[in-house]
């Protein structure tokens, strides 16, 4: 940037332009960046390198423009998602000291090239204005900054210096007889407000756990049920450990109920109300639960059950009631079979991005239901029935989809999101990019 060009960078009615050449200085400082809460990631330590450009000289009464250029962001865009063009916006603060003290609000534009995974962050230059009110030297020092990403949902990463930062520029202000006074500052600090709908709603209301009946099933071997068709399970307490960026754990009561349907059983799995808090403001249809019901006794494998997506928008941090999850169990063996809660998966879909957060059972889950079953062709132990998978697999739940987990690893980010110069977070566990 030429000295003359910078000196005349500012254009606007009523603004006095600095006549002296501009000066630019690079500053490097250790930085700590806090990923969005939804990411579940710890703070990131990195180094920020910026170049501050300001007029070398000016007069009292001048309002001058200052430019903050990111030479190097604190970290790369991690292996989460490719950031789209024009989705990243930085804002920050310059500290003025010396002849006058002020916080200069700096704001960049939401203009960036596409930023692939595992590549350096590209942040636009930030600009701000300061009106000089006193003669003397005024130093300008970079301070905290914020990175806002607008897609697939609005998230912010806040970065602050972790050491004393050197001044990036010095303006020599002479008493030119100009008007004094006026407030320092300039463009209002920014960053877009985090997005997502905020209307209340708690997911689809599902009945809380039903304390249903005893866990024993029919009493006649070989699948005899004495004419019974309904088999209520008992309520069992379960602790689920979720992968980042999901909640650390979920504690819930789970009940597995069954209704005989020919040689198979229609299952209904209920969880407690308010089983988890929404990781973000989510629109209707964004969050959907599923579970792999674990088989035991004479049978083996898992039975996938799924629930519908939330009917109403969800507020960030508010309790969510998971809807009832349903599926069909086709027995693969004859005798006493047990059904217990297994891996719970929370799928979040936003803006074409799908996030799968698996929550595994801590320890051994208690048996919720016991059935006296008769083997059916293609049943659970046999392997290829839609009613179950062999060897405890989760093929039909998506919980073992490494692509989904890698794509989510933060965000969500349940979701989503991404932090700025420090985009080293992983949304509610790695966003899956579905293009």
pLDDT in tens, 285-336: 999 999 999 999 999 999 999 999 999 998 887 888 999 999 999 999 999 9
C-alpha to C-alpha distance for 383 and 292, rounded to whole angstroms: 14
Domain ranges of the chain: 3-174, 230-400
By the 8 A CB rule, do 381 and 301 touch? yes
What would be the CATH architecture of the domain defined by 3-174?
Answer: Sandwich (2.60)
Position 87 pLDDT exceeds 60: yes
Neighbouring C-beta atoms of residue 358, cutoff 10 Å: 26
Strands (E) located in 222-334: 230-231, 236-242, 249-261, 264-271, 276-277, 287-297, 302-306, 319-320, 325-329
Position 202 pLDDT exceeds 60: no
Sort residue 71 into left (φ over 0), alpha (ψ -120 to 50) or beta.
Answer: alpha
pLDDT (tens digit, 9 = 90+) per residue, 40-82?
667 888 999 999 999 999 999 999 999 999 999 887 776 677 8
By the 8 A CB rule, do 329 and 304 touch? no
By the 8 A CB rule, do 146 and 157 touch? yes
Task: Say whether 230-400 and 3-174 share the same fold.
Answer: yes
Q: What one-character DSSP code corresponds to residue 39?
A: G
**Which CATH code, of 3.40.50, 2.160.20, 2.60.40, 2.40.160, is assigned to 230-400?**
2.60.40
Bigger pLDDT: 105 vs 199: 105
By the 8 A CB rule, do 149 and 87 touch? yes
By the 8 A CB rule, do 225 and 216 touch? no
By the 8 A CB rule, do 43 and 32 touch? yes
Mean pLDDT of 358-373: 92
Nearest Cα neighbor of 121 from 167, 82, 72, 80 is: 72
């Amino acid at each position: 940037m030429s000295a003359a060009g910078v000196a005349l960078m500012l254009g606007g009615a009523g603004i006095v332009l600095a006549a002296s050449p501009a000066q630019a200085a690079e500053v490097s400082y250790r930085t700590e960046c806090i990923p969005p809460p939804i990411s579940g990631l710890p703070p990131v330590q990195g180094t920020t390198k910026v170049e501050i450009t300001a007029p070398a000289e000016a007069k009292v009464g001048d309002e001058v423009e200052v430019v903050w250029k990111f030479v190097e962001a604190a970290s790369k865009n991690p292996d989460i998602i490719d950031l789209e063009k024009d989705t990243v916006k930085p804002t920050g603060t310059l500290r003025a000291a010396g002849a006058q003290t002020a916080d200069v609000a700096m704001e960049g534009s939401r203009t960036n090239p596409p930023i692939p995974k595992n590549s350096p962050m590209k942040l636009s230059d930030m600009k701000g204005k300061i009106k000089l009110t006193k003669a003397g030297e005024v130093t300008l020092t970079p301070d905290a900054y914020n990175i806002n990403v607008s897609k697939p949902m609005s998230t912010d990463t806040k970065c602050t210096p972790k050491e004393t930062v050197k001044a990036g520029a010095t303006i020599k202000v002479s008493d030119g007889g100009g008007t004094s006074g006026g407030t320092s500052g300039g463009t209002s600090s920014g960053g877009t407000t985090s997005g997502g709908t905020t209307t209340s709603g708690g997911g689809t209301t599902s009945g809380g756990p039903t304390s249903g009946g005893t866990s024993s099933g029919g009493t006649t071997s070989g699948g005899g049920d004495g004419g019974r068709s309904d088999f209520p399970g008992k309520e069992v307490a379960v602790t689920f450990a979720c992968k980042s960026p999901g909640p650390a754990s979920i504690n819930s009561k789970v009940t597995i109920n069954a209704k005989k349907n020919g040689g198979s059983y229609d299952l209904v799995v209920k969880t407690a109300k308010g089983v988890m808090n929404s990781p973000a403001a989510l629109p209707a249809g964004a969050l959907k639960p599923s579970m792999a019901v674990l088989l035991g006794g004479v049978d083996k494998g898992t039975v996938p059950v799924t629930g519908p997506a939330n009917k109403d928008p969800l507020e960030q941090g508010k309790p969510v009631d998971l809807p009832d999850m349903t599926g069909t169990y086709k027995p693969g063996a004859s005798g006493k079979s047990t059904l217990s809660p297994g891996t719970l998966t929370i799928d979040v879909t936003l803006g074409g991005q799908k996030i799968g957060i698996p929550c595994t059972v801590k320890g051994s889950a208690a048996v919720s239901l016991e059935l006296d079953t008769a083997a059916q062709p293609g049943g659970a132990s046999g392997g290829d029935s839609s009613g179950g998978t062999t060897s405890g697999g989760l093929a039909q739940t998506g919980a073992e989809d490494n692509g989904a987990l890698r794509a989510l690893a933060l965000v969500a980010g349940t979701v989503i999101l991404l932090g700025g110069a420090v985009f080293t977070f992983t949304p509610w566990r790695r966003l899956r990019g579905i293009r």
